[in-house]
Amino acid sequence: MSRYFKLVNFELNRFIKIYLVLAGVIILSQIAGVILQANSYLRMASEIINVEMLSRSEFINQYGTMSFYQITQSIWFDGPIALSIVSLLIYVFFIWYRDWLGKNTFVYRLLMLPTARINIYLSKATVIFLMVLGLIALQLVLLPIEINLLKWMVPLDFRTDMSIYEILMTNYMTILIPLTITEFIINYGTGLMVVFIVFTAILFERSYRWKGILFGLIYGAFAVVLFFMPMILQSTILYEFFYPLELLALHFVTGLIVMGLSVWVGNFLLNKKIRI
Amino acid sequence: MNLSLNKREPVYVQVVRHFKEQIATGKFEPGQEIPSRRELANQFKINPNTAQRAYKEMEEEGLIFTEGNNPSRITRDEKMIGTVRNELIVTAVDQFITSIRPINVPVDELVGLIKEKYKDDEKR
Amino acid sequence: MIEVKELTKKFGSKTVLNGISFTADKGQITCLIGINGVGKTTILNAIMALTPINSGEILIDGEKIHKESYEKITFIPDATIMLPQMRISEAMQFMADFYDCWNQKRADEILQFFRLKENDRISELSKGNTAKVNLLLGLAMDVDYLLMDEPFSGIDIFSREQIANVFSSHLVEDRGVIITTHEINDIEHLIDKVVLLDNGVVTKEFNTEEIRENEGKSVVDVMREVYQG
């Protein structure tokens, strides 16, 4: 067990630089986005008010107030989130392939550690999961700061305040930051399951190389079908047989089965089939 | 101490011969402490197992002895040292004879030549 | 004792190892010799369970390899297997963190022996020094068995001498060592046993001192007979 934690720590350290850069980009870009957009709105407001001789309320009537909604719609806000998502998706693959690449094949060392090889798998998955949660936490800390920054920059008359809850409700962020614990478990449980499926597919490729790509794809397809089996049954032979809550519970079960299966197959491949 | 090794002869035999030469010529004195097998392996750049084998051989022949946990020492047995010296001389002379025999030199001429060459060699 | 029994390994349709059997004793240096590409590295990988085998069995002290075995046997490949951005000190710390058998006192001694600086980064070392770091990380483990893949290939003469000195030192004393090489010169006097490989089979397995004693032949003489005879 202690070697699992050491591996998690080690894997975290290997990605920490890029990770901190990502966090930095999110912070800088989103803060800059708030400042730039607030400024451009205020500049526009003062120009229009001066040039067209409108009163404040006429301006607000015609052009609307500034709210955090505009902020979240901009590339300054979405861009770094998309960048982080893409980076972490790539890292799901790179976290394995980096051990094989280059002159220095670190995978020798990893496979010769005096610990169950599945710990390598689990520690890598843990690190991906922790990194996702870390960025989510960062976003949650950042939102109130950004909200207050906007309040501080834009006078009360010109803005419509939104709570964090309202902000999360208005766009895709409700997927990333679910509002209920059930949704959280569904979204992140599914995410973790996908990471496991991909990891096992990668190990198929690493074990059988070219043929392994095929095996990996077949495994991935099989796992996805298995996971959605209740829904597939529901819409085919068992027409509307389950209540929605039952369906959810069944997906929970198939999800756990897929995760368990992925870990089991991954363990088998690491112990019996892997090649350096 | 250095040893250039022949690749076609067991290394341990070569180590033992080296010790015999040192003993016969008095470079190793009776009762003198000798290196541990580890030190010997290091010095001669040989496998510690080979050093061990050489020491075992020498111990059996009575060239060296070990008391308890102390380092091994060269034998104090003067008779043994004499035998070693004799053995080396005889071996060398045998080799000499083997190579001179085909030339068929009369013994007196040979002995004269040997005396002459031997003296010249000493002067150098 | 490491026992390799009837080891067979195929890469696709190509049979690289075709029923290899040999043993390597603790306290002895066993040398796997063969021209390049005969699967010497594959044998070491198979012993360490780093590649699957098609058939056969490998036992270490009578047991199949399992996770605790890695505290007892280690492998020094011919490329660095530490992260290149690590300093030597960090690599040693990694070893100390993960292996109970890591011996820091010995590591410090080897560091001095090889004149390596612990603040140097692995990526910035010369080829010879990289090989030495590799050896350092393996030799400083208190393991019973050490496998080394081509420890002399492609490095300068002085590094070779230094590395050869390792084999006559206490660093390998009492351990079982398997080393692979295609060039015997550096170590002819150092090895106890030779396993000659050709075309995926063991062509001859012999004790070096015995062959010198009984047949008056050097290792190279025997190789010449086997490969050219």
Q: How far apart are the CA of C9 and the nearest CA of chain B, in angstroms?
A: 32
Identify the three-state secondary structure at position B105.
Answer: coil
Inter-chain Cβ pairs, chain B and chain C, closer than 8 A: 58
At A237 the pLDDT is: 82
Q: Which of B9, B45, B53 sits opposite C165 (nearest CB)?
A: B45
> C-alpha angle with apex C159: C154 to C165, nearest 5 degrees?
120
Is the CB of A185 inside 8 Å of chain C's CB atoms?
Answer: no
Distance CA C92, CA C107 (A): 8
Confidence band (pLDDT; 50, 70, 90) for C38?
Answer: confident
Q: With contacts defined as CB-CB under 8 Å, which chain C residues touch B12?
A: 209
Our measurement of the distance from residue A69's CA atom to the centroid of its chain's CA atoms, rounded to an integer in Å, reads: 21
The larger pLDDT score, comparing residue C184 to residue C121, is at: C121
ipTM for this model: 0.93
Q: Cβ B49–C192 below 8 Å, yes or no?
A: yes
Contact C179, C186 (CB under 8 A): no
Flag whether pLDDT at C85 surpasses 80.
yes
Range C2-228 has CATH code 3.30.565.10 = no
Q: How far apart are the CA of A113 and the nearest CA of chain C, in angstroms?
A: 6
Mean pLDDT of C100-110: 96
Q: Which chain A residue has its CA at the smallest distance from C137's CA?
A: A109
Distance CA A179, CA B18 (A): 86
Interface of C with A (CB under 8 A): 45, 48-52, 67-71, 74-75, 77, 79-84, 94, 97-100, 122-123
Give all strands (DSSP E) within chain A, no chain letters. Answer: 66-67, 159-160
Average pLDDT of the residues of chain A = 91
Q: With contacts defined as CB-CB under 8 Å, which chain C residues touch B46?
A: 168, 189-190
pLDDT, tens digit, 9 for 90 and up, residues A24-66: 999 999 999 999 999 999 998 888 888 888 888 888 888 888 8
Instruction: Indicate the helix (H) or strand (E) that contains C85.
Output: none
B positions 31-60 inside 8 Å of C (CB) = 38, 41-42, 44-50, 53
Token pair 């308890």 is found at B68
Distance CA A1, CA A126 (A): 14
Neighbours of chain A (3+ CB pairs under 8 A): C
Going across the sheet that includes C14-24, the strands are C14-24, C2-11, C55-60
Find the distance separating the first CA and the last CA of chain C, reported in whole Å: 32
Mean pLDDT of B82-109: 89
| Domains defined for chain B, CATH in brackets | 11-123 (1.10.10.10)
pLDDT, tens digit, 9 for 90 and up, residues C189-201: 889 999 999 889 9
The residues with which C146 forms a beta bridge, in sequence order, are C74, C177
Contact A32, A26 (CB under 8 A): no
> What distances in angstroms separate CA C222 from CA A239, B114, C109, C199, C212, one per listed residue?
79, 40, 37, 17, 10
Mean pLDDT of A78-85: 94
Q: Cβ B13–C169 below 8 Å, yes or no?
A: no
Identify the three-state secondary structure at position B60.
Answer: helix
Dihedral pair phi/psi, residue C36, rounded to 5°: -60, 145
Here the tokens at position C52 are 């699957």
> Helix count (H) and strand count (E) of chain B?
5, 2
Find the distance separating the first CA and the last CA of chain B, reported in whole Å: 23
Where in chain C are the domains?
Answer: 2-228
Residue closest to C197 by CA, chosen among C40, C41, C42 = C40
At B1 the pLDDT is: 54
Flag whether pLDDT at B26 surpasses 90.
no
